[in-house]
Structure formats: C-alpha cells, structure tokens
Amino acid sequence: MQVSTTPSQDWAGLVPQFDNQSAPDFSQFMPEKDVTLNELTNPDASQDALTNQIINSVVPSDKGQSSQGQEAPIGTPLDDTTGGYINRLVEEGVLLGFENGNIETYEDFKELISLNAENIAQQATRDVFSEQLRELPPQFQSIMKYGLNGGQDIQGLLNSWAEAERTIGLDMTTLEGQEEIVATYLNMINYGTPEQIAADIEMWKDLGYLQEKAEAYKPKLDEFQMQQILAKEQEAEHYQQQVNEFNNAFVNNVGHVLSNDTNYLGIQIPDQFKQAIYNQAIPQYASQIDGRQIDALEAIVEETKYGQNANPAFYTELLFHATYPEEYKKMLRSQISAEIAQNTRRLKTNQVQADMGRTNHTSSGQNSKIKPIQF
C-alpha cells in the first residue's frame, strides 16, 4: 500500500524544529557548574546526565519521580504550572519544541530537553569544526566539505585540485611556462590535434605572439580549473540535499503510518511508543561502515551484524521478519494461539482436578456420617 507523503496531523508534525534555527538559550536552565565544550562533544560523556540536570532544575523533585524516588511512570502528567511554563518557553523560542504538539507529560518534557541538549552539543561541535575548517588551506576545506556532503569521487576531486595547482603555478615569465599554458588551454577547448597545436605554438613563438597568447589564456585556464572543482562540490551538495529531502519525506510517511496504524499495520500501537518510534526514524546515528547519518533500524542492523555485540540469532529473526513478513506474522499468531490453547487446557485440567478434590472431600464427609451396621 502506498503511503501518502502528506504529513500527519498527529505524529508527523512532532519532529523537532531544529533545521535553520539557532540553538536555544539554555543559560537559565544550566546547573551552577559550567558544562564545558569538551563535556558536550565528548562521545563518552553522559547525555542523560545533562538532560536530568536540566530537568531537575526546572521540574520540582516530586513531579518527575514517584514516592519511592524512582522515575515516574510513562504518561505521568506535568502539573498545570510547570506544563504552562514549559510550553511558554517553547512559544517564546527559548526551547525548540515539537510542531503541533504541547508538552503535557514528564516523558514529553524529558524527550524535549534531551533533543534540545543534543542540539546544543551538535551546534557547539559544528561551530568548533567550522572555525577549525576555516583555518585550513582552501584545498583541504574543499575536500572536507565534499566528503561531509556525501561526495563519492574523492580521487576525482584530488585530481582536479592537482591539475588546478599545476596550471595556476605555471610561470608566464619563462618560455617553457608560456608554451605549457597555451598548449594546455588549446587542448582544453579541443583546438585541434596535438600536432596542429604544436605547429601553431612554434609559429606564434617565431612571430613573437606567444607571450601575448599565454597572458590571454592563463586567466581562462585558471577559471576553468576552479569551475571543475566547484562543479564537483555542487554535485555533492545537491546529492546531500536530495538525501535530506528523501529522509524528511520518509519520516513524514512514518508519522502518517503511526497516525493510521490500524489501517496500515493491522495493530494499534500504544500512544506512549509512537513518539519514540517516530524519533528513531530520524537519521541521527553515525554508520559504522561509511559514517553517514542513519536511523535506529539501520544502526541496529549494523550493530547486530558488524558490531562488537554481533548477534546472528537476532539478525536471523530480523531477516525473517523483513523478507517474509506475512509468514512471520502467521508464525507468531500460530504460536500465540498454541500457547493460549495450552494455557486453556491447563486451566481446565486444574479446574477439573479442583472440582474432583472438592467432590471427594464432600463424599468423604458424607460417608463419615453413616452409622455402621450393628450385627
């Protein structure tokens, strides 16, 4: 069944609005101890710890925990004061919120803060990286941006830069440099055969026109080489833009399915899981294979197959479910039906045994009241 690309009113709009927005000001929520950039960008640092610090600074201690000090059950509502305060911060742009969704429960708020904290960490990392990137030579900047945008022909870009450096470095003050400039340019524009180009260069040299030709061709040659590099960079940027558009559309489709789960899936997913499933459909994990952004399912498959905790048994079950979904569901239904039947038989057997026990007990009591026959 074709899934509509129209965003869902209930769930497809809940993707955090992080694109094209600056990071929110978290200064009023931060603990007294400053959180350093190293702590935010260190992959070993606990994101949950930062989230909990922020939550505890906003939500009273008795709102996010049960009476035993444990985390409140899923769906625990925030009190009106706290909920209203948080939603106001979202409206004012202090916090980045969910589209078409208010923060009503402790879980909503925890998810919101976690995503905002993650966005701050990512923005800090991007700022530091951008600053360091600007200090690199243009060649390195070009190659880094090309790779980050998903460019595949790294060697082709390296060759383009090598050729650009060669032509830019040609010396017009020498006869050899002038000949090389003119020959390279004429080859670039398909002026003629190598023999014809060599003959014309000799003619211009004899006539004293070679330097004039080199001076006219050199800027055009340099511009052409840089245009070749720019074209490769733009190709990678266009590719990344297409990837982003595809991912956004696909995530919206997931939201549409979640909003119509009974129609598409034949089951009803509990509401407390829908937001989590939707968030996990957003590419946010680094692939172990090529470093690109992937969603939770792709990350699970990679970890199950290639990771340190590779699990062939779980991978086999995932593969069975993915390649033969109807047979997998049929097998589960069959097993569930068999377990229900077995449990029903067990209950009936226990009931019969219990009834027989009561009958025997009653019979034994009745027999005890019968007087023996006197002879």
Does position 105 have pLDDT exceeding 60, yes or no? yes
β-pairing, 293-294 with 285-286? antiparallel
Does position 256 have pLDDT exceeding 50, yes or no? yes
Task: Transcribe 34-62 into DSSP letters.
Answer: ---HHHHH-TTS-HHHHHHHHHHHHS-TT
> Across residues 5-16, what is the average pLDDT?
38
> What H or E segment, with its residue span, contains residue 286?
strand 285-286
- Give per-residue pLDDT as tens, 129-180: 777 777 788 888 888 888 878 788 888 989 999 999 999 999 999 999 999 9
Question: What does pLDDT average to over the chain?
Answer: 75
Report how far residue 206's alpha carbon sits from residue 209's, in angstroms, rounded to the nearest whole number. Answer: 8
Q: How many CB atoms lie within 10 A of CB 217?
A: 21
For residue 95, the 8-state DSSP code is: S
| Surface-to-core class of residue 69, CB atoms within 10 Å of its CB (0-12 exposed, 13-18 middle, 19+ buried) | exposed
Contacts 24+ apart (CB under 8 A), 233-241: 233/142, 233/145, 233/146, 233/149, 233/151, 233/157, 235/151, 236/145, 236/146, 236/149, 236/150, 236/151, 237/149, 239/149, 239/150, 239/151, 240/149, 240/150
pLDDT the model gives residue 254: 92
For residue 308, the 8-state DSSP code is: T
Report how far residue 131's alpha carbon sits from residue 105's, in angstroms, rounded to the nearest whole number. Answer: 39
- Give per-residue pLDDT as tens, 43-94: 444 455 545 555 554 554 444 444 444 555 556 676 767 767 777 777 777 7
Answer with the residue of higher pLDDT: 121 or 98.
121
Answer with the residue of higher pLDDT: 241 or 358.
241
Report how far residue 260's alpha carbon sits from residue 262's, in angstroms, rounded to the nearest whole number. Answer: 6
> What H or E segment, with its residue span, contains residue 122?
helix 106-134
Query: What is the domain partition of the chain in residue ranges?
Result: 1-135, 161-269
Report how far residue 213's alpha carbon sits from residue 197's, in angstroms, rounded to the nearest whole number. Answer: 13
